[in-house]
Chains A and B, each alone.
Chain A
Amino acid sequence: MNSGSCSSLMEVGYDDHHHHHGHEELHVLAVDDNLIDRKLVEKLLKISSCKVTTAENAIRALEYLGLGDQDQHIDALTNNDLKVNLIITDYCMPGMTGFELLKKVKESSNLKEVPVVIMSSENIPTRINKCLASGAQMFMQKPLKLSDVEKLKCHLMNCRS
């Protein structure tokens, strides 16, 4: 357990985004329109030693990722602050859904390698399959528990090494 993570999160500097240090923090972008769920997922991720950025809808998330309407030329990978290692998004959101966000990310040459996890309170097999078929890393049932995030982290760290 990092006692250092009590205060504001540490910046992790990468020498080069291809060379990762042993204990780098995952930077997660968490997208959910529900305030309570955002607070919960943020806490779950911080406790699991992740750096967390939250967005309240898919449009804001895309802007953060550099895929917003205005400037298509922002290369999210050149700014270490922005480099996101994982996107975790709710499925049901007003406006653009998590599924649509997933597709936009996977269509982007810069970001298609970023794993996207979809969360939903509803356990609908066709929905789950649709997300997985479109490139979602995992589908997680809400409400999230600490053990879910721990499993997720393990899974991701194994994928990366």
Chain B
Amino acid sequence: MDTLVSQLQRQFRDYTISLYHQGFLDDQFTELKKLQDECSPDFVAEVVSLFFEDCEKLIGNMARALDQTGNVDFSLVGSSVHQLKGSSSSVGAKRVKGLCVTFKECCDSQNFEGCVRCLQQVDIEYKSLKAKLQDLFSLEQQIVQAGGRIPQVDI
């Protein structure tokens, strides 16, 4: 008989695997999970939450800089992109990081339209990842509440 716990565990496993296979996460996210233990059981959620706050702040900075029509400081935009690239790389946010690479190139070549496009994409992408990770954490909570263990998923 398929228990609630085993159903949830299977959903969790499948969802995790799909996030990696679809390129939302890379193995740096796996590295983050290794740092979670009894001492800091919410480490991943905390770091990820800081990351999304950072995204919001940096994207705000970039938007403001790009809004200075006729007087855009591309190096200012570029330094925010550099920060975002670093953070996304450190948490395993693969797609966000990939967009930052393109974004940086647009900054370096002072490509205004390219920057605006990249900004929109980065905004969509981080929000999408945020929603997916919320779903993933929610599954974890459901498993624990149903009395189960969160399975180790090998990608």
CB closest residue in chain A, given B36: A43
Given A36-B90, A146-B34, also A121-B85 (CB < 8 A): yes
Q: Is the interface of B mostly helix, strand, loop or mixed?
A: helix
| B86, A121: Cβ atoms closer than 8 Å | yes
A47 in contact with B35 (CB, 8 Å): yes
A13 within 8 A of B: no
Q: Mark out the residues of chain B between 7 and 44 whose CB falls within 8 Å of any chain A CB in the assembled complex.
A: 28, 31-32, 34-35, 37-40, 43
Task: Decide yes or no whether A35 CB sits under 8 A from chain B.
Answer: yes
Q: Is B83 an interface residue (CB 8 A)?
A: yes
Q: List 19 A–B pairs whose Cβ atoms lie within 8 Å, in order of A's numbering.
A: A34-B87, A36-B54, A36-B87, A36-B91, A37-B90, A39-B50, A40-B35, A40-B47, A40-B90, A47-B35, A121-B85, A121-B86, A142-B86, A142-B89, A143-B28, A143-B92, A145-B31, A146-B31, A146-B35
In the assembled complex, B51 has its CB within 8 A of some CB on chain A: yes
Since A34-B83, A37-B86, A94-B79 are in contact, a sample of 20 more A-B pairs with Cβ atoms closer than 8 Å, ordered by chain A residue number, is: A6-B39, A34-B86, A35-B54, A35-B87, A36-B50, A36-B51, A36-B87, A36-B90, A39-B50, A40-B47, A40-B90, A43-B35, A44-B35, A47-B37, A121-B85, A121-B89, A143-B89, A143-B92, A144-B90, A146-B35
CB distance from B85 to the nearest CB of A (A): 7
B82 is an interface residue with CB less than 8 A from chain A? yes
A94 contacts across to B, CB distance below 8 A:
79
Contact with B along A30-70 (1 / 0, CB 8 A): 00001111011001100100000000000000000000000
Task: Give chain A's interface residues, CB within 8 Å of chain B.
Answer: 5-6, 34-37, 39-40, 43-44, 47, 92, 94, 121, 142-146
Tier of interface size on chain B: 20 to 34
CB pair B39 A5 closer than 8 Å: yes
CA distance A49 to B70 in the complex (A): 52
Give the nearest-CB partner of B90 in chain A.
A143
Provide the bound-state CA to CA distance between A40 and B82, in Å.
Answer: 17
Contact call A6/B35, Cβ cutoff below 8 A: no
- Contact, CB under 8 Å: A143 / B31: yes
